[in-house]
Amino acid sequence: MKSLRLLSLVILATMLASAACAPAPVAYEDKIGVLKIKSGEPIVIAYWFVVAGPDASLGTDTKRGIEIAIDDKGGKLLGFPVKLIGEDSACNAEGGVAAATKLAANPAIVALVGSNCSSEARPGVPIITKAGMVTVSPSNTAPFLTDPNRGPDYAGYLRTAHNDKVQGAVAADFAYKQLKVTKAATIHDGSPYAEALQAVFAETFKKLGGTITSQEAVAPTDTDMRPVLTKIAAGKPEFLYYPIFIAAGGHVTRQAAQVAGMEKVILMGADGMFSPDFYKAAGDAAVGMYHSSPDFSAFAAGYKDFLDKHQKKYGEKPLAPFHAHAYDATMMIFAAIEKVAKKGPDGTLYIGRQALRDALFATKDFKGLTGNLTCNPYGDCADPRIAIYQTTADNVKKLVMPETPFWKPY
Amino acid sequence: MLRRVLERLSLTDIFMWLTGGAVVAVIVVGSAATLSMGKYSGRHWFDFIIFGLAQGSIYGLIALGYTMVYGILRMINFAHSEVFMSGPFTACYVAMALSQSGFLESQPILSLAIIFMVAMAVSTVIAVLLERIAYRPLRAAPRLVPLITAIGASFFLQYTFRGLYGSGFQAYPDIRMLQGAWLLGPLRVLKIQAVVILAAALLMAGLYLFVQRTRIGKAIRAVSEDKEIAALMGIDVDGMIVRTFVIGGMSAGAAGVLYALMYRQVHFFMGFIPGIKAFTAAVLGGIGNIPGAMLGGVFLGLFESLGPNLFLDGLGVPSPNQLKDAIAFIMLVLVLIFRPTGILGERLAEKKA
C-alpha cells in the first residue's frame, strides 16, 4: 500500500515537472481569454437572426449577406475553413436571450453577427459581452445600443447599420418639407427599435413646426388594428409614420384603408418592413406609401457584383434592406481576425478575445459595400445614407422592392 | 343572517372584492372622462362595437372547441389552437391556386365554399387524429397527463406545419366581393366584418340546435353528464367523443378561414394568440357551456376593441391600445371575482369541477 502511494507521488511529480517544461503560452495572453483553433478545425462564426416566423425575411436576408461574404473569401480565412452556425432570435427579447445564451455557451465561436431586431440586442448583448465574445449587428438601429452611456455590458457590441437618430430625422424632414404635411401620428409596437424611431421622428417633426396628433402603440402580435386606427383618425392627422415590422405593419396598412377618416392619410413605414414580404402582407393597400431605408443607389460599386452573386446563389433578389450591412459586418470581422490572429509553431491559431474586440473598434475607413466604415468608441460603424422610397403598383404585383429612391436628403 | 355572512368572510374575499371594486371604479371614472371629452362621435363608437363583434365572434367559434371538449372530457385541449391554424393555412394554398387560375374572380362564392370546405376538412382531420392518437390512449390516466400531452401535441403540430409550409407567412388573395363597405344610413359596415359576424352567428345557432335538438346532440350531452351511465344506456361513448372533436374541428376550421379573410396573413404560429384568447373566452362564459363560449367571445372582443379607448383614453393613459390584452384579462379576473364559474357556468360547476 505504502509503495503504491509513493509511486503515485512520483507520477504526480513527473507530471508537474513536464507541465512546467512545456512551451509557455506567454505570447498569446489576452485580458479576456485566448481562443485556440487547432489546424484543420474551422473558424466558427455565428449569427443570431430572426429566421422563422412572419419577420423571417429580415433574418434570411442578412444570413445570405454573411454566406456571400464567406464565399468571397473562398470559405477560408488564414488557411482555416470558416463555419457558419446560428440561432433563431425571433425578433423579441425572449428570443434574443435564448439565442444569445445558447451561442455564448459555445466556446468555439470566434465572433457573432447579429442581432436583427433591437429588442433582441438589448437583453442579448450583455450575455454575449459577458462570455467574452463580440457581435456586430447588421440591422439593429435603436439609438441606445451605441449610446455613450450604454455601459460596459455592451462593450462587445458594434453595428454596421445606421443609427435611428439619422433615419427618424430624415423621415420627419421628408414629411414636413417635401410632403408639406403639418399634422402627423405615429404607431410603435413597444420594441426598442420602433419606439425610439418614432420618438426621433416626432421630436424632429415638432421641432420643424409640425403637430403630432397622437403617438399610439400596438403589440407586435396584434391583428386587429382597426380600433387603434379609429382612435388615430379621431385626431385627424395627414400623415402616419409606423416604423414597425412586417406582420403588424401589413395589418396596419391594409386596415388603414378600411377605417373611416384614414383613407386619405399618407402612410410611411421604415426599414423594418421594407421587404417583398411586406407587399405580400399588405397587398394593394401598400401602393403609394413611403418607406425610409438605406440608400442602395449610394452603395459602393461592388454592390452590383454582390447582387449578381445573390441572384446566382439564391435565384432571387434580396429580401430586406440589410444584406449588404451583414456582408460588411462579416468582412469587418474577417479583417479583424486576420489582424490579431497568431499562428503557433504547430499550426494552431490563437485569437485573443479582447484583441479582436479592440481591432473591431479600431476599424477605420473600411471600404465596405454600404460605404466607408469607421467605428466610434461606442460601436457605431455605419456610413449612414437614408433615402425615401415610394411603392408602385408594379412593386406590389411583382413583389420587388423599389430600386431608385424617391427622395434623398443629400 | 348578517353574522353568518361575517363569519364566512375571509381576508381573501375582502381583498378580492376591493380589487374588483377598484377596477370597476377605474372603468366608470375612465368611461365618464372619455365620454365628456367628446373626442369620439357616435359613429366612432359604432365602429368600435362592430370591430369588437367581428373579432369576438371568431373568438367565440374557437372557444366552442375548448368548451365542448372540456364539457365531455374535463380536459383543456391546448392543441385546439393548432386545429385552428391547420385548416386556413392549408386552404391558403388552395385560395392562391384559385386566385391564379382566375376562378376566384369569376366564381367567388363557389371558390369561398371550396376554401371553407378544405379548411374545415383539414381541421377536422387534425382534431380527430389528435383525439385518437394523443388523448384516447390516456383516457384513464390522471387529469394532468392529457393536459401535458395536449401541450406536446400543440408543439408537434406547430412544427409539423412549419416543416410542411415553411416558417414564413402566406397571405390570402383579395376577394373583390368581400372588399369595401355597406352603408346603413350614416353608418358604415365593412363587408368582411358583416360576413364574419353573420357567418359566426349562423354557425353558432346551428350548432346550438344540433346539440339541443338532435339525437346525437342528446347523446353528447348524456356523455358529458356521466360517461359510465351513458355507456350503460347503450351510447357509444368513444363515438360521441369523436363527434365532439369533429364539431370542434369544423368550427375551428371555419373560424380560421373567417380570421384569415379578415386579416389575410397565415403562418404556423397564428393559432397561439387567438387560441389563448378563445380559451379565456370559454372560461369567461363558463367553461363547458356552449352559449357561454359565444357570449364570452363577444364579451372579450368588445372589451378589446372598446376597452382601451373607452376606459383608458379619458384617464390620459398614453397609447392605451397596447394594453388591450391586459384589459381583456382584467375583465376575466373581474368576472371570476364576482362569478367564479363564469357568466353562464353555474350548472356544471356544482357537479363536476
Whether the bond into A293 is cis, omega within 30 of 0 = no
Angle formed at CA B110 by CA B106 and CA B111, multiple of 5 degrees? 75
- With a cut of 80, say whether residue A50 has pLDDT above it: yes
The alpha carbon of residue B48 is apart from the nearest alpha carbon of chain A, in Å, by 6
Q: What is the pLDDT of residue B350?
A: 47
How many other C-beta atoms can be found within 10 angstroms of the C-beta atom of residue B317?
14
Contact A251 B263 (CB under 8 A): yes
Calculate mean pLDDT across residues B18-34.
88
Q: Is residue B140 part of a domain?
A: yes
Contact A228 B264 (CB under 8 A): no
Contact A227 B174 (CB under 8 A): no
A65 phi/psi in degrees, rounded to 5: -60, -45
A118 phi/psi in degrees, rounded to 5: -60, -30
Q: Is residue B353 part of a domain?
A: no
Contact A227 B318 (CB under 8 A): no
Cβ neighbours for A85, distance < 8 A, ≥ 6 positions apart: A44, A45, A46, A47, A106, A109
B48-58 pLDDT tens trace: 999 999 999 99
**Look-up: residue for cell 372588399?**
B179
The alpha carbon of residue B3 is apart from the nearest alpha carbon of chain A, in Å, by 48
For residue B232 the three cell numbers come to: 350503460
Structural domain including B206 reads 40-272
- With a cut of 80, say whether residue B111 has pLDDT above it: yes
Whether the bond into B101 is cis, omega within 30 of 0 = no
Calculate mean pLDDT across residues A236-241.
93
Which of B89, B158, B263, B327 should we substitute to test contact with A (largest number of A Cβ atoms within 10 Å)?
A: B263
**Distance (Å, rounded) from C-alpha B322 to C-alpha B304?**
10
Average pLDDT taken over every residue of chain B: 88
Q: Which of A53, A227, A254 sits opposite B167 (nearest CB)?
A: A53
Q: Is residue B139 part of a domain?
A: yes
Tell whether B34 is within 8 A of chain A (Cβ). Answer: no
The DSSP result for A62-75, as a single string, is HHHHHHHHHHHTTT
Of A119, A163, A166, A115, the C-alpha closest to A141 is A163
Contact A230 B44 (CB under 8 A): yes
Tell whether B55 is within 8 A of chain A (Cβ). Answer: yes
Calculate mean pLDDT across residues B260-283.
90
How many other C-beta atoms can be found within 10 angstroms of the C-beta atom of residue B337?
17
Calculate mean pLDDT across residues A145-169.
91
Chain A residues with CB under 8 Å of B181 CB are 258
Cα dihedral value A99, A322, A248, A398, nearest 10: -130
Chain A residues with CB under 8 Å of B318 CB are 215
Calculate mean pLDDT across residues B93-109.
89
**Look-up: residue for cell 361513448?**
B237
Banded model confidence at residue A172, pLDDT cuts 50, 70, 90: very high
Residues A348-376 as b/e (b if ≥16 CB within 10 A, e otherwise) read ebbbbbbbbbbbbbebeebebbbbebebe
Banded model confidence at residue A175, pLDDT cuts 50, 70, 90: very high
**Distance (Å, rounded) from C-alpha A146 to C-alpha A29?**
28
In B, minimum Cα distance to A215 occurs at B319
Q: Is residue B19 part of a domain?
A: no
- With a cut of 50, say whether residue A155 has pLDDT above it: yes
Q: Between the ranges A251-260, A304-313, B100-109, B319-328, where is the mean pLDDT highest?
A: A304-313
Total domains in the fold of chain B: 1
Which residues 322-341 in chain B show a CB within 8 A of chain A?
322, 324-325
The alpha carbon of residue A100 is apart from the nearest alpha carbon of chain B, in Å, by 21
Q: What is the pLDDT of residue A11?
A: 62
Banded model confidence at residue B349, pLDDT cuts 50, 70, 90: very low
Angle formed at CA A275 by CA A280 and CA A298, multiple of 5 degrees? 150
A272-299 pLDDT tens trace: 898 888 998 998 899 999 999 888 888 8
A208-220 pLDDT tens trace: 999 999 999 999 8
Q: Which of B181, B259, B267 sits opposite A54 (nearest CB)?
A: B267
The alpha carbon of residue B251 is apart from the nearest alpha carbon of chain A, in Å, by 20
Chain A residues with CB under 8 Å of B169 CB are 53-54, 247, 277, 280-281
- Judge whether A101 and A127 are in contact, CB under 8 Å: yes
In A295-405, DSSP assigns E strands to 342-343, 349-352, 366-367, 372-373, 386-390
Tell whether B251 is within 8 A of chain A (Cβ). Answer: no
* Structure ipTM: 0.85
Q: What is the pLDDT of residue B108?
A: 87
Q: Is residue B223 part of a domain?
A: yes
- With a cut of 60, say whether residue A148 has pLDDT above it: yes
Calculate mean pLDDT across residues B135-151.
89
Contact B51 A227 (CB under 8 A): yes
Per-residue CA distances from B280 to A57, A94, A343, B325, B329 (Å): 32, 24, 61, 11, 8
Cβ neighbours for A163, distance < 8 A, ≥ 6 positions apart: A141, A143, A146, A380, A382, A384
Taking each continuous run of H as one helix and of E as one strand, the counts in chain A are: 13, 17
- With a cut of 70, say whether residue B353 has pLDDT above it: no
**Distance (Å, rounded) from C-alpha A168 to C-alpha A280?**
25
Contact A227 B48 (CB under 8 A): yes
Q: Which residues of A touch B (CB under 8 A)?
A: 51-54, 56-57, 188-190, 214-219, 221-224, 226-228, 230-231, 234, 247, 250-251, 254, 258-260, 277, 280-281, 283-284
Contact A226 B43 (CB under 8 A): no
- With a cut of 80, say whether residue A24 has pLDDT above it: no
Which of B321, B327, B329 should we substitute to test contact with A (largest number of A Cβ atoms within 10 Å)?
A: B321
Banded model confidence at residue A248, pLDDT cuts 50, 70, 90: very high
User: Tell me, what DSSP letter sits at residue A285?
Assistant: G
Element (H, E) at A214: strand A211-217
**Distance (Å, rounded) from C-alpha B180 to C-alpha B194?**
11
**Distance (Å, rounded) from C-alpha A333 to C-alpha A337?**
6
Q: Is residue B158 part of a domain?
A: yes
Q: What is the pLDDT of residue A54?
A: 77
**Distance (Å, rounded) from C-alpha B220 to C-alpha A376?**
70
Q: What is the pLDDT of residue B56?
A: 93
B71-92 pLDDT tens trace: 888 888 999 999 999 999 999 9
Banded model confidence at residue B59, pLDDT cuts 50, 70, 90: very high
Q: Which of B170, B181, B309 sits opposite A227 (nearest CB)?
A: B309
Contact A56 B168 (CB under 8 A): yes
Q: Which of A54, A231, A284 sits opposite B168 (nearest CB)?
A: A54
Contact A280 B171 (CB under 8 A): yes
Which of B58, B191, B265 should we substitute to test contact with A (largest number of A Cβ atoms within 10 Å)?
A: B265
The alpha carbon of residue B308 is apart from the nearest alpha carbon of chain A, in Å, by 9
Of A353, A48, A325, the C-alpha closest to A159 is A325
Q: Is residue B277 part of a domain?
A: no
Strand-pair category, A135-137 with A109-114: parallel
Write the single-letter amino acid at B203. Answer: L
Chain B residues with CB under 8 Å of A222 CB are 324
Calculate mean pLDDT across residues B275-281.
92
- pTM given for the model: 0.83
Q: What is the pLDDT of residue B9?
A: 75
Contact B321 A247 (CB under 8 A): no
Write the single-letter amino acid at B189. Answer: V
| CA A70 from centroid of its chain's CA atoms | 18
Contact A56 B265 (CB under 8 A): no
**Distance (Å, rounded) from C-alpha A199 to C-alpha A166?**
12
Q: What is the pLDDT of residue A95?
A: 94
A329-355 pLDDT tens trace: 999 999 999 999 999 888 899 999 999
**Distance (Å, rounded) from C-alpha A269 to C-alpha A254?**
13
Average pLDDT taken over every residue of chain A: 89
Which of A89, A92, A223 should we substitute to test contact with B (largest number of B Cβ atoms within 10 Å)?
A: A223
Q: What is the pLDDT of residue B160?
A: 92
Q: What is the pLDDT of residue B166?
A: 84
Calculate mean pLDDT across residues B230-258.
92
The alpha carbon of residue A111 is apart from the nearest alpha carbon of chain B, in Å, by 26
- With a cut of 70, say whether residue B346 has pLDDT above it: no
Of B127, A176, A95, the C-alpha closest to A114 is A95
Of B256, B273, B250, B270, the C-alpha closest to B204 is B250
Which residues 112-171 in chain B show a CB within 8 A of chain A?
162, 167-171
- With a cut of 50, say whether residue B243 has pLDDT above it: yes
In A, minimum Cα distance to B181 occurs at A258
Q: Would you call A295 helix, strand, or coil by DSSP?
A: coil
Q: Is residue B340 part of a domain?
A: no
Calculate mean pLDDT across residues A88-101.
94
Chain B residues with CB under 8 Å of A216 CB are 319, 321-322
Q: What is the largest CA-CA distance in chain B?
A: 76
- With a cut of 50, say whether residue A356 has pLDDT above it: yes
Burial class (CB in 10 A: 0-12, 13-18, 19+), B36: exposed
